[in-house]
Amino acid sequence: MSDDIAIKVEGLYKQYRLGVIGADTLKDDLKLALAKLRGKSLADVYDIQGNDRMVGDSEYVYALQDVNFEVKKGEILGIIGKNGAGKSTLLKILSKVTGPTKGQIKVDGRIASLLEVGTGFHPELTGRENIFLNGAILGMKKPEIRKKLDEIVDFSGIGKYLDTPVKRYSSGMMVRLGFAVAAHLEPEILIVDEVLAVGDAEFQKRCIGKMNDVSKNQGRTVLFVSHNMASVMELCDRGLLMQHGTVHSTGKVSDIIPAYLNVFRAEALTSELHTLKTRNGNGKIQFHRVQLMDQENSVIDFALSGQKMKFKVTLKVHKPQEFKQIHISLRVVDSNDVTLFHLSNSVANGKEVSINKDTDEFDVEFHLDKLPLNSGKYHFHLFCSDLQEVYDELNFAGELNVEGGNFYKSGKLPPASTSSFLVDYNVTI
């Protein structure tokens, strides 16, 4: 491995055996046992029928297959891909949380990882004790850790709770301390998974600034996994796109993000909403259909800038029952997955909605008096939850094509390349 390479991965595979009792939760064990009694296949039980990572009809599935890539020292690599693409498995192997089935990994330097909330912390120890524990794991002496203690505490903002056992911390506090420890104890390689999404927007911004600093000013290597394409674009030099456990492509992040979005859209836009697999949530309520409609209630294929229109969203209830405080939202994004506007019943109506126990299907309509978008191709995400659980979440649920319209009543629009979102305004001279 050449001197300028921090990580080199060659022919990496990770195989898991399905259906091992005790490998998951009690609920999963019961589900598996009942399925076996009924004669169901493992592919049906785990909802992976037709998955190209299955090893024939066996009980084995590949989480990673023939993964190869290099990361240079001082580089920030953005690792992107859909849920289940193999990103987290890859990071766990690099962090030595789990081992590969086969393949070779060469690493030049110490690795600090932030993979899940609470990773690397002993719940019974205080925040202070966990800082020293993590430093010791990285091979640091106590005086070295003490020099960094104030910086870690200031960055995490948990000073008041420094001598409290971390089992009493909220998930947000845990993530703040975890990132502060990983970033300030000076490992040569910093690995950060999607866990930062737990923190607030201000903290995420500080984390991105810190990762930029440790790479550009301190020459350290960063591997960053996120579904937030704006953050990946802002932070990363290079991108690695994973799909079905393999490396789909690598290159400049400005090239990899469009490739990722195209992969995501190809699956989302060719299916009915209720058949999509790329969704999150418990499924008690699910998005079934979305229609774009004009003010005459006619279904439309595209809209005009400034047009009066609506999104008609149909949802189905899996098992009719009473639901209280339901939040439903629709988020329109541009080609880089940057949010342009967000619609929700909670914001527009100032409250959540309740569904009675006899309802098995219902519609939600989001009305726009004046579509505030320039000409172009956009997409929207859908989300449904109550105050405690997520029922359904669909990324790239549909496409919104917009043609130039008479938004300003002047017959003119700014160039689409300079302004996607249109603001209604007047000018006086």
Rounded Cα distance between 273 and 286, Å, is 9
Task: State residue 51's pLDDT score.
Answer: 47
Query: Residue type for 114, please?
Result: L
Predicted local confidence at residue 79, as pLDDT? 95
| pLDDT number for residue 14 | 93
Where does residue 117 rank: exposed (0-12), middle (13-18), buried (19+ CB within 10 A)? middle
Q: Which pLDDT belongs to residue 359?
A: 82
Q: What's the pLDDT score for residue 49?
A: 41
Give 10-residue mean pLDDT values along the chain (429 residues). 91 80 54 61 46 55 93 94 87 90 93 77 92 87 92 91 93 87 88 72 81 90 85 88 94 88 63 75 91 88 91 91 90 91 90 81 94 93 90 91 87 85 92
Q: Are strands 60-72 and 5-17 parallel, antiparallel or unpaired?
A: antiparallel
Asked if 256 and 366 count as a contact pair (C-beta separation under 8 A), the reply is no
Q: Can you list the domains of the chain with their CATH numbers?
A: 70-264 (3.40.50.300), 276-403 (2.70.50.60)
| DSSP helix/strand/coil, 288 | strand
- Cβ–Cβ < 8 Å for 414, 421: no
Alpha helix stretches (DSSP H) within 162-200: 171-184
What's the pLDDT at 367? Answer: 97
Closest CA to 401 of 313, 292, 259: 292
Is the distance from CB of 284 to CB of 315 less than 8 angstroms?
Answer: no
Q: The whole model's pTM is what?
A: 0.64
CB of 229 within 8 A of CB of 259?
Answer: no
